[in-house]
Structure 1
Amino acid sequence: MGREEQIEEREVLDSIFPEEITDISDTEYRIAVKLNPPDDDNSDEGLEPPTLILHVRYPDAYPDEAPILDISPLANAPSHPRFSVSADKKQLLKGLEDTIEENLGMAMVFTLVTTLTELAEQLMTYRKEAAEREREEALLAAEREENKKFHGTPVTPETFLKWRDDFMREMEEQRQREEEERLAELKKAKIKEAPRLTGKQLWERGLVGKGDGDDEEDELPTEQVERLKVAA
C-alpha cells in the first residue's frame, strides 16, 4: 500500500516540478526550490535569487511515516546576503515538523515544498526589514547628533528669570555709564566756554580795587576766578 502511494505521488511531483526534480533512486529524489526575495531584494545586489535543494527519501511505511528530509545549497551557488542554507538549515527543518505531523497518512511532499519556500522567504523578509530598521536608526541617530549643534539650553522658568535679571542689571550698568559720560562731557564744555575777564572788567564789577593809583589791569586770585567761571 505504501509503495503504491509513493509511486503515485512521485508521478504527480514530476508533472509539477518537471525541471526541478531529480531522481536518486526509486525511493529517493531531490527538488530544487528557487526562492523569491522580498521586493526584488536582489536588484541592488545584482544576484540571482537563492536556490536550495530539498532531499526526500521515503521510508517503507510512508506516508504513514514521516519522509526523511535534508536541505543543501545549490552547487557553486553564490552566497546571498539574506539567506544561507548552512545557517538556516536547522531552523527550516524544525519549521517543517508541524506540517509533517498534520499530514501523516497523506502524500505531503508538495505541501512540504510549499511550506519550506514560505519559511525561507519569511526569513529573507525579516532580515531585509531588520537591515532597513538598522539603517533608519543609524540615520536618526546621525540626525539627532547634527540637531544638537543647533539646540541651545532649554528655556525653563528658572533660566528665563536668571536671564531677565542679568539683562536688567547689564542695562542699568550701561545706563549709569552713559549718564556719567554725559555729565563729564557737560562739565568740560562749561569750563571751556566760560569767558576770561580782563582786569578792567573785574574792576568795573567791583571785584578788585585800585592799588596805589596804578591803572594796570589786575587779575583776581585764582580761587575767585574759578568761582566766576562756574558762575558764568
Structure 2
Amino acid sequence: MAATACLNYGAPASLNPQQKQQSPSARNNCLIDATIMGKRNMMMMGLRGRYNKANKRAGMVRCSGIGIGDFIGGDLVKPDLGRWLSDVEEHKALAIYTPHEGGYEGRYLNRLRYQGYYFLDLTARGLGDPETTLTKVHPVCPAHVGKQPIARWYFPPEVDYRLAALPPDAKGLVVWIIEAKVLSKSELQFLALLPTLRPKVRVIAECGNWRKVVWKPLKEIAGLTANEEA
C-alpha cells in the first residue's frame, strides 16, 4: 500500500479525480522510502567512482626523468653552444641527432658560421662513394631522356675544390651531411677520418633523431674508437 501511495503521491488532482486523500502516515512512508533510495543511489555512485579511479590508477603510465626541456625544447633551455664549439674543435667529426620537427640544428650551424667556418651542405642519398666524391675527380652521369646517348661528365673533388676557393681569413670548411643514417659503417668511418686527411675540414653528420639535440664523436658511432683502443 505504501508503494502504491508513493507512485500516486504528487500527481495532479485532475489525473485521479476519484482518488482519496492520502493519510499523513502514508506520506511519511513515501518520504522515508525516497530518502533510503537516494542514499542507496549515492552510495552506488561513490563505489563506482572509486572503482573507476582505481582502474585509471592501475592503467596510468608515468614517465620518469621528464623535464622542462621535453616540452619546450632542450636546446633552448640548456646553454650547450660552448660545449658544441669545443667538441667540434676536439673531435673534428661529430654525429648529431636532432628532433624530428627540425629547425634546432640551425642554431648550432650559425654558431660555427660566426666562428669563421664555411659550409658544404650535402645529402647522403645519392652521394655515392664519399671518398671518391669528396677527395677525387669523379664521374657523374646525367639523366638521359629517350634515345639520347648516355653521357659522362667529370667533376673536381668537392672538398678540395672548395678548400682552394676559401678566403684567406676562413677558419675552415664544415662538411654538413644530412640523412647520414643511410650510410654504411665503412662510409661513416671515412667521414670520421676525413679531418685527418684534410686538417681544415670539419664533418657534421646527421645520423638520426632524438627528443633534443645531442651529439657524439663520429668515430664512436662508426666503431673506430674500439679499434684504436684494441
TM (normalized to structure 1)?
0.24
Larger Rg: 1
Q: Scaled by the length of structure 2, what TM-score is found? A: 0.24
Identify, as 1 or 2, the structure richer in helix.
Answer: 1
